[in-house]
Structures are given as C-alpha cells and as structure tokens.
Amino acid sequence: MILDILLLVIAVLLVTVVLMQNRGAGLGAAFGGQGGISQTRRGGEKVLHIITIILSIAFLLTAFANTIY
C-alpha cells in the first residue's frame, strides 16, 4: 500500500518535471527546426535534467520493489 502511494507520487513528480523542460518549444521544433546546434545544459535546465534522472531511477526501483512485495 505504501509502495503504491510512493509510486504514484514519484510518477506525478516525474511527469511534472518532464513537462517543465521547455526545450525546443514551438511548432517549428516539432518538425526539426532546431538547426542542429549542440547546446549544453546550464542553470535551471541542468537541475531539471538531473532531477529527471533521479526521479526516473526512483520510479524504476519503486516499481521493481512493488512487484517483489
């Protein structure tokens, strides 16, 4: 029961963080309008990227733990 609630909370947080990443916003980016320029992550974008990785690992571990118990 606790793992189910924890899994739900992590999933909501993960979706929120992914939606907050505003990379390539706009209709032009949907069709490849980036221009091919490689950009590094800085500031808040880097923090959101790291939080996304941490939450996805936590989600995966919680899902595995939920199947075991």
User: What would the pLDDT profile of 19-37 be if each residue is shown by its tens digit?
Assistant: 998 765 544 455 555 555 5
Nearest to 41 by CA among 31, 56, 55, 51: 51
Split at pLDDT 50, 70, 90, the class of 59 is very high
Looking at residue 6, its pLDDT comes to 97
pTM above 0.95, yes or no: no
Q: How many helices (H) and strands (E) does the chain have?
A: 3, 0
29: tokens are 């980016």
